[in-house]
Amino acid sequence: MTDVLRITLAVAGKDIRAELHSRTALISALVFAALVLVLFNFARDPTAVSAAILGPSVLWVTFVLAALLAMNRAFTIERENSALDGVLLAPIPRESLFLGKLLANLAFVGVVELLTLPLFMLFFNVDLVPRLPGILLVTALATTGFVAVGTIFGAMTAKTRFAELMLPVLLLPFMVPPLIGAVQVTSRLLADRPLSEMWGWLRLLALYDVVFVVLCTLAFSAVVDE
C-alpha cells in the first residue's frame, strides 16, 4: 500500500512539475474555457432565456471541453522520447501509475474549473459565492468520474496516430451521465432548491465515480502493457 501511494505521488508530482515548466495544458485550457464562455455570452439572447436556466449547461459544457484539452496533455508527454517505456520498465504496480496520472489530471482540470468559475460569474451575472460549497461538491463529484475515464482513454489513444482527435470521440459518450447529473444539481443550486431535490443526482455522481475509478484502475494494466 505504501508503495502504491509513494509511486502515485511520484507520478503525479512529475506531471505537475512538467506542467509547471511548460504551462501548455493549463494556459490553453484556460484560454479555451474563456473563449467558450465569451461565445456563449454573445450567442444567447438574455431576453429569451435567463442566465439561471442556460448557465448550468454552459458552465458544464465549458468544463468538459476545457478538461478534454487538459487531459490530452497527460499522455502526450509520455509519448515524447517514449518516456512511458521508462516508467513501464520500473518495478511499479500499474495501478499506481494510473492513480498518479488521475491525480495529476484532477489537479489540472480542478485548477481550470476553479479559474473558470469567476469568468462564468462575470459573463452570466450569476452569484455563485453563497452556493460555493454546493458548486464545489458537485464539481468534485462530476469531475472525478469523467477524469478517471479520460485518463484511461488518454492512455489508449496515446498509441494511436490521431490521439488528440480520438480522445474526445471515445470520451464524450462516457461524459454524458456525469454531465446530466452535474447540470441538474447546478440548476437546482442556482434556483436555491433544497438539498433533498439534489440528493439522488449526487448519489448517482458518487456511484459513477466509485465504479469508474475502480474499473479504470483495474483495467489500466491491460491498456499500457502490451
**Sites of contact with another protein (CB under 8 A):** 3, 6-7, 10, 14, 17-19, 21-22, 77, 80-83, 85-94, 221, 225-226
Residue nearer to another protein on the CB measure, 94 or 188: 94
Residue nearer to another protein on the CB measure, 48 or 90: 90
Q: Determine contact, residues 143/110, Cβ cutoff 8 Å.
A: yes
Please identify which residue in the block is written with the cell numbers 439522488.
200
Residue nearer to another protein on the CB measure, 69 or 190: 69
Q: What single-letter DSSP state applies at residue 49?
A: S
CB of 110 to another protein, least distance (A): 20
Euclidean distance between CA atoms 27 and 70, whole angstroms: 9
- Report how far Cα 146 is from the mean position of its chain's Cα atoms: 6
**Cβ–Cβ contacts within 10 Å for residue 61, how many?**
15
CB of 90 to another protein, least distance (A): 4
Euclidean distance between CA atoms 70 and 192, whole angstroms: 32
Residue nearer to another protein on the CB measure, 82 or 196: 82
CB of 218 to another protein, least distance (A): 12
Q: Determine contact, residues 192/123, Cβ cutoff 8 Å.
A: no
CB of 87 to another protein, least distance (A): 7
Nearest to 226 by CA among 72, 85, 93: 85
Residue nearer to another protein on the CB measure, 87 or 190: 87
CB of 7 to another protein, least distance (A): 7
Q: Count of alpha carbons within 13 Å of 130, Cβ hemisphere only?
A: 6
